[in-house]
Amino acid sequence: MKRNLIATLVGMMVCGAFSAHAAGVTDAMIANDAKAPNNVLSWGMGTQGQRFSPLTQINTQTVGKLVPAWSFSFGGEKQRGQESQPLIYNGKMFVTGSYSRIYAVDMKTGTKLWKYEHRLPDGIMPCCDVVNRGAALYDNLVIFGTLDAQLIALDQDTGKIVWKEKVDDYAAGYSMSAAPLIANGLLLTGVSGGEFGVVGRVEARNPRTGQLVWSRPMIEGHMGYKYDKDGKATENGVTGTVNKSWPGDLWKTGGGATWLGGTYDPTTKLAYFGTGNPAPWNSHLRPGDNLYSASTVALDVDTGKIKWSYQTTPHDGWDYDGVNEFVTFDMDGKRMGGKADRNGFFYVIDAKDGKLENAFPFVKKITWASGIDLKTGRPNYIESGRPGDPTKGEEGKKGATVFAAPAFLGAKNQMPMAYSPQTKLFYVPANEWGMDIWNEPVSYKKGGAFLGAGFTIHPLNEDYIGAMRAIDPKTGKIVWEVKNGAPLWGGVMTTAGGLVFYGTPEGFLKAVDAKTGKELWKFQTGSGVVAPPVTWKDGDTQYVAVTSGWGGAVPLWGGEVAKKVNFLEQGGSVWVFKLSSK
C-alpha cells in the first residue's frame, strides 16, 4: 500500500488531534481490562476472552432484584441480527448495530450521544446476515469493521471519522463482521468471506493511523508481508509450503477466513486466531489436510510469524470452521487455551507451544469422527460420515448424501463461551443438531458462492436444540446443563458473584448459578438475544447490559430449524440492568 503526501499530512493531523485529548485508552488499560471493573475495553471483557468479571454486587443472593435501568433502540428499519458486545469507557457505551452502524450512548441515562452509519454499496455479500460483533477502543478512537471490508476509526467524543482504510474488495466476497483486537499496541483484524473463495488473513495496523504493519495469510502457499513507515511492502515469508497440504491450485482461493477475530495473552505474547472452512466445501476436489484452514493459529504479534498451529478438522468436508475463540487460562501451573470447536469437540491446548493436552466431545452426537487421538492430535475419522464424491454419483451431478452431526452451523458457532477461575469451569452455549449433506461439482467465479455442497439441517431432539453446559476442561465432564428449545446463538458471561449470564432466541436474558445451573433470574427483552452480555461498575452501582435483536445465520441457513423458530421477532436495542433500590 503506497502512501502519498496527503496520507502523511492526515497522519500528522491525527497525532495532533490525539494530543488535544486529556486522556484515552492506553495499552496498560487494555492489558488490565479483565481485572478493571469500571470499564469494558475489549471484545471478550479482556483480550484473553475469559468473559469473567470480578464484580460481586450482583450475586446469587441479589440477582433476583435485577431490574431495567434503561433501554436504547437502534431505530430505523435495519433490524436483522444484533450480535454486538458493548464497550464501556469514559461514561459512554459504544455498541455496533446491523448494517455497519455504531452508536455512542450515555452510560447512565441511555441517551444517544452520536451515531455513525456507514454508507454501504449495493453489492455487499455477507454470508451470514448483516451483523457486526463489536468495536475496539484505543486512545480516543473507537474502531470497527464494515460489511464492505473497510476499517473505520471514529473520535469517541464526536463520532467524526479520523481515519478509514479499505481492507479488501467486497465484490470478491470479502467483508468484516468481527470486533478488532488491540494487542501490544497493534490493531489486529481478520476477514470474512470463506463461502466466496476469499483467502483468510490477519493484519496488524497502527491503531492511531490505520497504516499496515504486517499481513499474514492463513492459507498455505500465500506470501506474508511487512510494511515500513512509508507503506512500502516487503516479503515476510510464505505461509507454510506451497502444495504441501494443498495439491493443485485450489489453495489460491482456499478460504480459511478469520471471521470471528482473535484473542491475545500477554503472558505468552501471542495472538490466537481461528480459521474457517477450506474452499470449496466439496473436499473431494482438494486432497490433503489443507493447512491452515479449520485451525487455531498462534501469531507473534510483533512480526506476524506463525509460532504454532493446531488443525481441529484436517481436510474439512462439513464446513466445520475452526474460528471459535481460543480462551487462555491456568491449569496445573501451565498456561492453557480452551476451544469449543464447531466440529463438536472441546480442545485443551498448551498456549505456549500448541501441544494438545485433552480433547473430548461437548455435544451428544458426533458422526464424522469417533474421537481425537491425543498422541497425534488428529481425529479418528468415520469415513462413511463424509459426503460422497460427485464424480462417482449419478451422472456426475451429485455425490452420496450422508447424515452428519453436528450440523454445519456447529456444536458452537459465533457465540463466545466464558471461563470462571473460581469454579474452573467453561460455560459453553452448545447446540444439538444434524444435517443431510451432499457434494456437487463447482468452479470458482469471483464474487460467486463457492460451496460445491447442498444441505438440510434437522433437530436431533423433540424437546431442545440448545444447551448451556458447564464443562470441566480437566476431566471433560459436563457438570450441568440447561436445555433450551431454540438454538443458543448468544454469548456467555460469568462473574465472581457466582453467576452465569446468557441470552436465548426466545428473547430472555438469564442468570443461573455458576455451580449448579439453577435459574435465578430472567428478563424478556422483546426480541431474540444473539449477543454476549457484559457488566461493569459505575460509582457504587454494578450494571449488566446485553444487545437484543433476533437474526444471524440460523434464520438464513437453518433448514427445518429455521422453520421451528420463524415465530421470533426481529429487533434492535440495548438493555441495561441494575439492582432495584427498593
Q: Which residues are catalytic?
A: 319
Q: Which residue has the cell 464424491?
A: 389
- Assess contact for 431 and 343: CB atoms under 8 A: no
Cβ-based neighbour number of residue 353 at 10 Å: 10
The closest of 88, 178, 166, 102 to 133, measured between CA atoms, is 178
DSSP symbols for 177-216: -SPPEEETTEEEE--B-GGGT-B-EEEEE-TTT--EEEEE
User: Which residues have a Cβ under 8 Å from the Cβ of 130 and sit 6 or more positions away?
Assistant: 78, 80, 81, 98, 99, 100, 124, 147
Give the integer Cα–Cα distance in Å for 78 and 462.
33
Give the integer Cα–Cα distance in Å for 554 and 267.
37
Cβ-based neighbour number of residue 249 at 10 Å: 12
Give the integer Cα–Cα distance in Å for 385 and 187.
40
Angle at 108 between CA 118 and CA 509, to 5 degrees: 75
Backbone phi, then psi, for 134, in 5-degree steps?
140, 180
User: What is the CB-side half-sphere exposure of residue 432 using CA atoms within 13 A?
Assistant: 20
- Assess contact for 312 and 341: CB atoms under 8 A: yes
Instruction: Tell me the Cα Rg of the chain.
Output: 22
- Residue 76 is classified by DSSP as S
- The amino acid present at 559, given as its one-letter code, is G
- Assess contact for 518 and 512: CB atoms under 8 A: yes
Cα–Cα distances (Å) from 176 to 122, 158, 190, 454, in that order, read: 16, 24, 7, 25
What cell was used for 32? Answer: 488490565
Give the integer Cα–Cα distance in Å for 427 and 153.
33
